[in-house]
């Protein structure tokens, strides 16, 4: 008990100390800038960059915001906008960073760093995606809204800036995100399949093959799609899936069974009235 009492008191002391320190920083951030910086955009920007380098992000933001607000038509105001976005990103405020980067790209389409801003907007969404944590369900079982936002953002970047030096990095992230979304589509399809909800499962498998081809899910999805179609009595749909499977995935574990179905067994499994 004594140990835990000491631990609690120590925690309270740290929290109190941290709160006091935070209060002091916030208070100084509201004060006017020193005269040598207040009237000079470049000096204020350089001071903000120095504060950021020295590990004083709140003070850095103070200078960058001053430059952005007091010198809106200066080249340093534009750089300050980007610096503020970078600051949000580096400190884990990813949605705030995404909005700031996107605004920069929208307002300064001719700027030399517009591709950087667009890429970082996409990367911010990527960083905000749900992660795998052992106490919670796997990431592919969670809501994929942020994952889709990240993919859309990378797609937009690659479409708008095909010659950017960041294209290779963007493509790597794009493939990673598509694989994750494919994993989610497969998970949902299998969920329905195991419960014999054939229509819902078939639609998921079709979407998986259509939207996420080439990521390692195709042959299994086609096989299960054909099985769903058989259960639904849809011979045309089943044949189409089996033909794609046998043609495009000759090494599939389902190749022999798919070939046999196409050779005649399919006619027996699906009544003529089923399509």
In order along the chain (275 residues), what is the average pLDDT of each group of 10 residues? 38 38 38 76 92 91 93 93 96 95 96 97 93 53 80 96 97 96 94 97 97 95 96 93 95 93 74 45
126 Cβ contact list (under 8 Å, min separation 6): 150, 154, 173, 177
pLDDT score for 28: 44
Which tokens in the block code for residue 137?
A: 């369900």
Q: Return the pLDDT at 264.
A: 79
Q: Say what the pLDDT of residue 267 is.
A: 65
| Closest to 202 in 3D by CA, of 190, 213, 214 | 190
**Phi, psi at 134, each rounded to 5°:** -60, -20
Distance CA 191, CA 182 (A): 14
CA distances to 1, 44, 64 from 84, rounded to whole Å, are: 47, 14, 7
User: Is the Cβ–Cβ distance between 36 and 7 less than 8 Å?
Assistant: no
pLDDT of residue 4: 38
Assign residue 68 a region (left: φ > 0; alpha: ψ between -120 and 50; beta: otherwise): alpha
Neighbours of 239 (CB within 10 A): 18
pLDDT attached to residue 11: 40
Which 8-state DSSP code applies to residue 55?
T
Positive or negative CA dihedral for 64, 69, 71, 76? positive
202, 229 in Cβ contact below 8 A? yes
User: Whole-model pTM above 0.95?
Assistant: no
**Domain boundaries 94-195, corresponding CATH code:** 1.25.40.10
pLDDT at 145: 86
Give the integer Cα–Cα distance in Å for 272 and 252.
Answer: 28
Q: How many CA atoms lie within 13 A of 30 on its CB side?
A: 5
Instruction: Check residue 139 and give its pLDDT.
Output: 56
What is the distance between the alpha carbons of residues 189 and 238, in angstroms, rounded to a whole number?
16
271: left (phi over 0), alpha (psi -120 to 50) or beta: beta
């Amino acid at each position: 008990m004594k140990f835990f009492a000491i631990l609690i008191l120590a925690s309270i002391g740290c929290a109190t100390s941290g709160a006091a320190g935070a209060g002091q920083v916030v208070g100084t951030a509201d004060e006017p800038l020193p005269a040598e910086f207040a009237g000079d955009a470049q000096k204020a920007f350089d001071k903000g960059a120095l504060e950021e380098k020295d590990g004083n992000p709140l003070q850095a933001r103070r200078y960058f915001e001053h430059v952005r607000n007091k010198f809106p038509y200066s080249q340093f105001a534009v750089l300050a906008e980007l610096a503020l976005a970078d600051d949000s990103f580096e400190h884990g405020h990813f949605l705030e960073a995404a909005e700031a980067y996107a605004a920069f790209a929208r307002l300064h389409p001719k700027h030399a760093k517009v591709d950087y801003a667009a890429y970082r907007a996409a990367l911010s969404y990527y960083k905000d995606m749900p992660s795998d944590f052992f106490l919670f369900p796997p990431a592919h079982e969670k809501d994929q809204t942020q994952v889709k936002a990240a993919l859309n953002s990378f797609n937009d970047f690659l479409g708008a800036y095909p010659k950017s030096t960041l294209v290779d990095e963007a493509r790597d992230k794009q493939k990673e995100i598509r694989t994750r979304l494919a994993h989610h589509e497969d998970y949902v399809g299998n969920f329905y399949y195991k419960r014999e909800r054939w229509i819902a499962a078939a639609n998921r498998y079709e979407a998986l093959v259509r939207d996420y081809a080439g990521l390692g899910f195709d042959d299994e999805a086609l096989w299960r799609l054909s099985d769903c179609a058989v259960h639904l009595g849809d011979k045309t749909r089943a044949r189409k899936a089996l033909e794609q499977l046998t043609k495009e995935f000759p090494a599939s574990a389902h190749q022999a069974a798919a070939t046999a179905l196409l050779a005649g067994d399919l006619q027996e499994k699906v009544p003529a009235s089923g399509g």
